[in-house]
Amino acid sequence: MKKTIIVLLLLVTGVFTNAQNSQNQPLKIIAFGAHPDDCDSKFGGTAAIFAKMGHKVKFVSLTNGDAGHQSEGGGALGKRRRAEAQRAGKILGVTYDVLDNHDAELIPTLHVRHQVIRKIREWDADIVLGLRPNDYHPDHRNAGVVVQDAAYLVIVPNVTPDTPPLKKNPLFLYMKDRFQKPYPFSKDIAVVIDNVVDKKIKALAAHDSQMFEWLPWTNGMKESEIPKGADEKLAWLKKRYAAQKNWSENDKDAIKKWYPALDPANINHVEFFEICEYGKQPSIEEIKQLFPMIGKK
C-alpha cells in the first residue's frame, strides 16, 4: 500500500512539474520580412517586450536588401544592410538572420518556401509573423505568400524532409499594413508598446542606409534636410515615427478589448496583428498566454 501511494505521489508530482515547466518555457517567436528593417518597423516594439520578458525572438529578412539605395548596391550594400540588421537585433534583444536572396527579385519559389519552413522548424516556433500578400512592393507581397504557403506544411513530415516537422501548428499572424484591397487589415490583437518605443526607434536608426538615406530620398527629401549627428538623427527619426499616437479612434475597440483597465487617452503607440486563418486558431485565453504582456502597462 505504501509503495502504491509513493508511486502515485511521484506520478502526480511529475505531471505537475512537467506542466509547470511547460508554462515556464520561453515562447519562441519568428518574424519574416522581405528586407532588413521590415520586421523592426512593424513588430519591433512587441519583439522588444517579448525579449525583455525572457522569450526568444528571431527576425528573418528573406532578401539581403542589395537594391534598396539610391547610390549604392550589390554586395557592398548587402553587407552594409546585414551589419545594420545585426546592430538593430542587439538593441531589441532578438536574433537577426538575413538570407542571400536578391532584393527586388524575391519570388515564392519552392526553394524560398523550403528556406522558410526550415527556419520555422529550427526555431520550433510558437508564433510566426509575416506580411500580408497585398502591398506596393512585390518583395513584400511575395514574402507574404511564401510564409502563408508554409503555414500548414511546417507539420508535414514529407515536406522539406531534411528538417524534422513541428509537432504542432504555430499561430500565424500578419503584421500591420495600410492597404485596403482586397480587404483592409484586421486588428485582431493589439499590443501597447509605449514603454519600449524609444528602443524601437533606436533599432530603426541602426538601419542607417534606410532611415537617413534611402527612404528620405524616395520621399523627395534633400540630403541637406537630414541631420548629421547621432543624437540629432535619433531625435529627427523619433519626431517622424513617434511624435504622436499611431492609432485612430477607429482602433479604440481593438485596444480596449485587450487593455480594458487602461484609458486609451493615455496610450500613444500600439502594434496590431491579424490572425492568419491557415495556422493555429487560438482562443482568447490562448492569445493571452502567447502574448503575456497583453493587458499590462
* Residue 18: predicted pLDDT: 36
- pLDDT tops 90 at residue 297: no
Work out the percent of the chain whose per-residue pLDDT is above 70: 92
- Mean pLDDT for the chain overall: 93
Residues 204-225: what's their mean pLDDT? 97
Residues 21-29: what's their mean pLDDT? 79
Positive or negative, the CA dihedral 161, 163, 166, 171 is: negative
- pLDDT tops 70 at residue 189: yes
Closest by alpha carbon to 133, among 65, 64, 102, 179?
A: 179
* Residue 13: predicted pLDDT: 41
- pLDDT tops 70 at residue 175: yes
Residue 51: which pLDDT band, with cuts at 50, 70 and 90?
very high
In a domain, 17, yes or no: no
* Residue 296: predicted pLDDT: 86
In a domain, 86, yes or no: yes
Beta bridge partners of 273: 175, 189
In a domain, 199, yes or no: yes
* Residue 24: predicted pLDDT: 79
* Residue 23: predicted pLDDT: 61
User: What is the tally of structural domains in the chain?
Assistant: 1
- pLDDT tops 70 at residue 45: yes
Query: Which grid cell sits at 239?
Result: 519626431
Beta bridge partners of 174: 130, 274
In a domain, 4, yes or no: no
Residues 184-192: what's their mean pLDDT? 98
Distance of CA 127 to the CA centre of its chain: 9
Residue 7's φ and ψ, nearest 5 degrees, are: -60, -45
In a domain, 103, yes or no: yes
In a domain, 32, yes or no: yes
Work out the percent of the chain whose per-residue pLDDT is above 90: 91
In a domain, 285, yes or no: yes
pLDDT, tens digit (0-9, with 9 covering 90-100), for 234-280? 999 999 999 999 999 999 999 999 999 999 999 999 999 999 999 99
What is the rounded radius of gyration, in angstroms, for the C-alpha atoms of the chain?
Answer: 21
Residues 21-36: what's their mean pLDDT? 88
Q: Indicate which CATH number applies to the domain containing 129.
A: 3.40.50.10320
- pLDDT tops 60 at residue 1: no
Query: Which grid cell sits at 224?
Result: 541637406
Q: Is residue 97 helix, strand or coil?
A: strand
Residues 190-206: what's their mean pLDDT? 98
pTM of the complete model: 0.92
Look at 101 and 18; give whichever has higher pLDDT: 101
Residue 20: which pLDDT band, with cuts at 50, 70 and 90?
very low
In a domain, 2, yes or no: no
Residue numbers of the domain that contains 196:
27-290
